[in-house]
């Protein structure tokens, strides 16, 4: 059932109904936001932490949400910023080496919450070679089939730049699998 944004926002701003309205929000968006985060950070525990941060930030900053975008767009924006900050911090801490791409594939192989075959592992390895924001664009278009206009609102980037970024990302992935495809 589609959530009525206007009604929900009114309830979220009313102290008596805020908590029950937020429960509706959490129920509706937990899974899509989780998978959006998980595809970015790969690890379940990291995705779980970021998801909690996302909802807590949404809860504490509810009054500053002006309602000039969809609630889903606002939540995706918070989640994406949380993940990009996390990844940028992680990249800054990691030692840059040629083994970085391989190590993420090794981690997936040993990950009890990864159910993909070798081809899927290589696909995830290919995705890890993309810069974080470009990987986000790829995930949102390829897996979520998000419209560029909606993506533009989430990422604060023009539709043209997003189209170009996705096109380049697809070419890189295709090149990665040149022998297989």
Partner 1 sequence: MSDEEIIKAKIGTENPFKVPEGYFETFQQQLLGSLPERAAVEPEPVRTPLWGKARRTWLSVAAAFVGVVVLFATLHQTGGTKESASLAAADEMAFTEDEMADYIASSVFDDYTLYSYLTNEE
CB burial class (10 A; 0-12, 13-18, 19+) of residue 172? middle
Q: What is the pattern of x (binds partner 1, CB under 8 A) and - over residues 22-61?
A: xx--xx--xx--xx--xx--x-x---x--xx--xx--xx-
How many CA atoms lie less than 13 Å away from 150 in the CB half-sphere? 13
Indicate which single residue of 3, 5, 8, 18 sits in contact with partner 1 (rule: CB under 8 A). 18
Are 130 and 138 in contact by the 8 Å Cβ rule? The answer is yes
Contact region with partner 1 (CB under 8 A), list: 3-11, 72-80, 95-103, 117-125: 117-125
Q: Which residues of 75-100 are buried (b: 16+ CB within 10 A; e: fewer)?
A: bbbbbbebbbebbeeeeeeeeeeeee
Which residues, 6+ apart, have CB-to-CB distance to 126 below 8 Å?
Answer: 172, 173, 176, 177
Applying CB under 8 A, what is the total number of residues that bind partner 1?
58
Q: What is the pattern of x (binds partner 1, CB under 8 A) and - over residues 122-141?
A: -xx------x-xx-------
Decide whether 102 or 177 has the Cβ nearer to partner 1.
177
Phi first, then psi: give them for residue 142, nearest 5 degrees.
-75, -50
Is 118 a binding residue for partner 1 by CB under 8 A? The answer is no
Report the alpha-carbon distance of residue 3 to residue 102 in Å, rounded: 42
Binding site for partner 1 (CB under 8 A): 13, 15, 18-19, 22-23, 26-27, 30-31, 34-35, 38-39, 42, 44, 48, 51-52, 55-56, 59-60, 62-63, 112-117, 119-120, 123-124, 131, 133-134, 142-143, 155-158, 160-161, 163-165, 167-168, 170-171, 173-174, 177, 180-181
């Amino acid at each position: 059932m589609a959530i009525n944004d206007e009604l929900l926002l009114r309830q979220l701003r009313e102290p008596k109904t805020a908590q029950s309205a937020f429960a509706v929000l959490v129920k509706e968006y937990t899974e899509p936001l989780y998978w959006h985060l998980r595809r970015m950070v790969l690890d379940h525990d990291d995705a779980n932490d970021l998801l909690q941060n996302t909802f807590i930030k949404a809860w504490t900053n509810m009054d500053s949400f002006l309602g000039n975008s969809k609630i889903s767009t606002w939540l995706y924006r918070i989640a994406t910023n949380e993940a990009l900050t996390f990844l940028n911090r992680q990249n800054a801490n990691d030692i840059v080496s040629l083994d970085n791409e391989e190590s993420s594939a090794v981690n997936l192989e040993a990950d009890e919450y990864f159910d993909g075959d070798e081809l899927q592992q290589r696909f995830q390895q290919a995705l890890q070679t993309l810069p974080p924001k470009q990987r986000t664009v790829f995930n949102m278009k390829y897996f979520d089939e998000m419209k560029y206009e909606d993506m533009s609102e989430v990422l604060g980037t023009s539709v043209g730049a997003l189209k170009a970024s996705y096109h380049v990302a697809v070419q890189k992935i295709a090149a990665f699998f040149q022998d297989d495809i």
